Amino acid sequence: EVQLLESGGGLVETGGSLRLSCAASGFIFNSYVMSWVRQAPGKGLEWVSSIGGSGANTYYADSVKGRFTISRDNSRNTVYLQMSSLRVEDTALYYCGKAPFDATGYAPGVSWGPGTVVTVSS
Amino acid sequence: QTVVTQEPSLSVSPGGTVTLTCGLSSGSVSTTYYPTWYQQTPGQAPRTLFYSTNTRSSGVPDRFSGSILGSKAALTIAGAQADDESDYYCVLYMGSGIWVFGGGTKLTVL
């Protein structure tokens, strides 16, 4: 059974940094694209970033490009989202997702964790 | 900036059929956009219904179907039930690893 568990969320001031982690189990981790999606309070879903199975290829939404960095440690079955220069508008519930294949099409994620909350205060 | 469009809200009677659509502010949606549909209830993580237009996720009932209808991706729910009342999101692949979500449709069953 696929299991994903995010951690690392919390309260940070504008301009600060935070690193989110997503621990995965139940599948061959390095064989799948992993993604981050977020949801601001009362708002819809927003794709944030994806990373290929080897970690060599990364992709970002324009809203976070240059501020967020996605990475993965395939020896630890964990994907990370390093967030810097945080803004109030980055406040959201961040979900980690497993894509259906090691390919960037098909879907950003088909299995999702419960999420971790990031709050950026001014 | 490409905008993915969804109906903000729809309603359906119990047992009825409803179609939710996912379009583009400019152009038509085709299978090359790999439309993916999620269902989300308050306080819960998204649940995947379909990816790649019509590949059904495990456990999704047959009364849900994904397709391309005209210039849009579509999610059709037949025989609607009370627990189908949720928010539904589509996301489209724009190429180069980039995905864009629609604003979501709030479905009411009444």
pLDDT score at B39? 98
Q: How far is A38 from chain B (nearest CA, A)?
A: 10
Contact flag A61-B102 (C-beta cutoff 8 Å) = no
Residue B10 has pLDDT above 90, yes or no: yes
- pLDDT at residue A105, rounded to an integer: 82
**pLDDT tens per residue across span A20-30:** 999 999 999 99
Query: How many angstroms separate the most distant Cα atoms in chain A?
Result: 41
**How distant is the Cα of A48 from the closest Cα of chain B, in angstroms?**
9
The mean predicted confidence, pLDDT, of chain B is 97
Q: CB of B110 within 8 Å of any CB in chain A?
A: no
Report whether pLDDT(B64) > 90: yes
- List the single best residue of A36, A47, A64 to mutate versus B (max B Cβ within 10 A): A47
Per-residue pLDDT for B93 more than 90? yes
Residues of B whose CB is below 8 A from A35: 99
pLDDT band for position B1 (cuts 50, 70, 90): confident
B104–A108 CB contact, under 8 Å:
no
Specify the pLDDT at position B36: 98
Minimum-distance CB partner of B34 among A35, A58, A106: A106
pLDDT value, residue A104: 84
For residue B13, pLDDT over 90 is answered with yes
Where are the extended beta strands (E) located within B1-110? 4-6, 9-12, 18-24, 36-40, 47-51, 55-56, 64-69, 72-77, 87-95, 98-101, 105-109
Res B11 pLDDT > 90: yes
Quick one: residue A48, left, alpha or beta (phi over 0 = left, psi -120 to 50 = alpha)? alpha
Task: Find the closest chain B residue to A58 by CA distance.
Answer: B97
Q: Which two tokens mark A7?
A: 């951690």
pLDDT at position A103 is: 87
Query: Do the Cβ atoms of A107 and B51 come within 8 Å?
Result: yes
**Three-state DSSP class for residue B84:** helix
Over 90: is that where the pLDDT of B2 sits?
no
As a whole number, mean pLDDT of residues B8-34 equals: 97
Tens of pLDDT, residue by residue over A36-75, are 999 999 999 999 999 999 999 999 999 999 999 999 999 9
The answer to whether the CB atoms of B103 and A44 lie below 8 A apart is yes
Q: From the CA of B103, how many Å to the nearest CA of chain A?
A: 6
What is the structure's pLDDT at A102? 85
Closest to A6 measured CA to CA, from A37, A49, A45, A40 = A37
Backbone φ, ψ for residue B28 (5° rounding): -110, 150
